[in-house]
Structure formats: structure tokens, C-alpha cells
Amino acid sequence: MIYLRKAKEQDLDIIRDLAHRTWWDTYGGYLSDEQIRYMLEKMYNRGELLGQLQQGYVFLIAAEQEQDLGFAAYSIVDSDQRIFKLHKLYVLPEAHGKGIGKLLMNEVADLVKKAGATALQLNVNRNNKAAGFYLKSGFVIKDTIDLDIGGGFFMNDYVMEKPIVS
């Protein structure tokens, strides 16, 4: 049985490990090894993750028995319009097909709905097969962007949004 728990500071190494174990499979087909290493270090170093927790990001970890299999993170990005953002959703490749991504997505949607959200947004690389998963989950493509993340690298993303209805 899959269960979810809210991550705490002591879980940051678990989140970092899960990111390192999922990103190569997720991005290896269309990003260079150099860019993947750069992004992992930039986005998943302990200081960055701790800062995200302190800024109000909520991290959820999915586990089965005592094995951590994936995680998600979200936060509010526009208080006035009550828009939340799903910043991260990753599941270990060997755990794909168990419904973990859908479980994490549904839990985030439920939690932001309870918090009064009007919409949930996310960015996804235009080459990422997860874009199809998000479309099936009720998201629509709102914009296409190219973000300069430093180091000579860009994130070529769709900005997607799902309305949250009370």
C-alpha cells in the first residue's frame, strides 16, 4: 500500500536522493549530462531545499512499506489570485505504473483546494512525456517559455494550469 507523508527538514536528503535517481531517466533523452548535473546541484542542494521549506513549500513523499518511491512539492505563488504551483513531481522509474504520480497529483490538488486555490500551475519541459500525464490530469497549456537558468542552459517549458473548482 502506498502512503504519503509531509516531508520535514530531516527528509531533505531523501528528496535529494530521489531527484538524483529519477532525473537521469526523466531527462537523459533530451538534456545533456552536463545540464542534468548542473540543474540537480542548483535545485537540489541542501541549502536550496531548506530555503524552499522555509519559504512555505510543502513536500510530500510517497512510500510503500519502508521504501521511498517519489515526491511532490508545491507552494502558493500568487496570494491575491490564490494560485498555487506544483514545483516538483518525480517517481522512481522502477515504481512507474503503480499510480504514485496520480496519487501525489490528486493529494496536491486536494490540499490546494482546501487552502482556497483557484488554480494549480506547473512548468514541464516540452520534451517530457509527463506533459501528457498533466493534460490527462486536467491541465491545459497556458504558455511556452524558455528560461535561462544560468551556466549557458535553458529550460524549454510549457506553463500549464488546472482550474481548481470549489
Reduced to 3 states (helix: H, G, I; strand: E, B; else coil), residue 145 is strand
Burial 130-153 (b: 16+ CB within 10 A, else e): bbeebeebebeeeeeeeeeeeeeb
Run means of pLDDT, 10 residues per run, the chain, 166 residues: 97 98 96 97 96 97 96 98 98 96 97 98 96 96 97 97 92
Supply φ then ψ for residue 30, to 5 degrees.
-140, -5
Count structural domains, the chain. Answer: 1
Looking at residue 91, which CATH number applies to its domain? 3.40.630.30
pLDDT at 135: 97
- Residue 74's domain spans which residues? 2-163
